Amino acid sequence: MAEAREVMDQVTKVVLEARDLEGVAKFLASDVVAVTPGVGQIEGREQLVDYIRQGWDAFPDGQYQSLHKYESGNTAIDVGRYVGTNTGPLTMPTGESIPATGKTADWRTCALATVEDGLITQYEFYFDQLDLMQKLGLVP
């Protein structure tokens, strides 16, 4: 197994199973750049860790199921499903928040991590925002 796949698997463990913010920070370059739905580009370790924390706050019971794992060069790709109940506020890109809906949602996700010297330098997250908002009853 190559470095990118190993790092991505470890990050998945600490983010989605252990929910360890300090643990995930150890795998992120200080100048990591992330691309996310809604928020857009996030720059820096602390900002990305905060984005992850906000997701946990919105879906504290969230569970991830891996469907496919790939690796190409120094990039690992994960495709999966995330299921969680929205019991915390959803933080919007503007900084405002939407109150919890109490609804459970199940949505597909894709993440790409580019790894250099054992650290993620670029992280991209993809999911269908409209699908998620519909499942939460926030849009028709």
Q: What angle do CA 44, 18, 3 make, to 5 degrees?
A: 60
Evaluate if residue 1 carries a pLDDT over 60: no
Distance between CA atoms of residues 140 and 138, nearest Å: 7
**Total-model pTM:** 0.92
Q: How many CB atoms within 10 Å of residue 17? A: 10
Q: What total of structural domains would you count in the chain?
A: 1
Average pLDDT over every residue of 40-46:
96
CATH number of the domain enclosing 49: 3.10.450.50
Q: Is residue 111 part of a domain?
A: yes
Give pLDDT, residue 16: 80
Query: What's the mean pLDDT when you consider all of the chain?
Result: 94
Residue 51: Cβ-neighbour burial (10 angstroms; 0-12, 13-18, 19+): middle
Q: Which pLDDT band, with edges at 50, 70 and 90, does 19 fall under?
A: confident
Q: Is residue 109 part of a domain?
A: yes
Average pLDDT over every residue of 71-83:
97
Average pLDDT over every residue of 45-65:
94
Give pLDDT, residue 17: 79
Q: Is residue 126 part of a domain?
A: yes
Q: Is residue 115 part of a domain?
A: yes
Q: Is residue 140 part of a domain?
A: no
Residue-range definition of the domain harbouring residue 39:
3-135
pLDDT digits (tens, 9 = 90+) for 92-134: 878 889 999 999 999 999 999 999 999 999 999 999 999 999 9
Provide the percentage of residues in the chain whose pLDDT is more than 90. 85
Average pLDDT over every residue of 48-73:
95
Q: Is residue 53 part of a domain?
A: yes
Q: Which pLDDT band, with edges at 50, 70 and 90, does 35 fall under?
A: very high
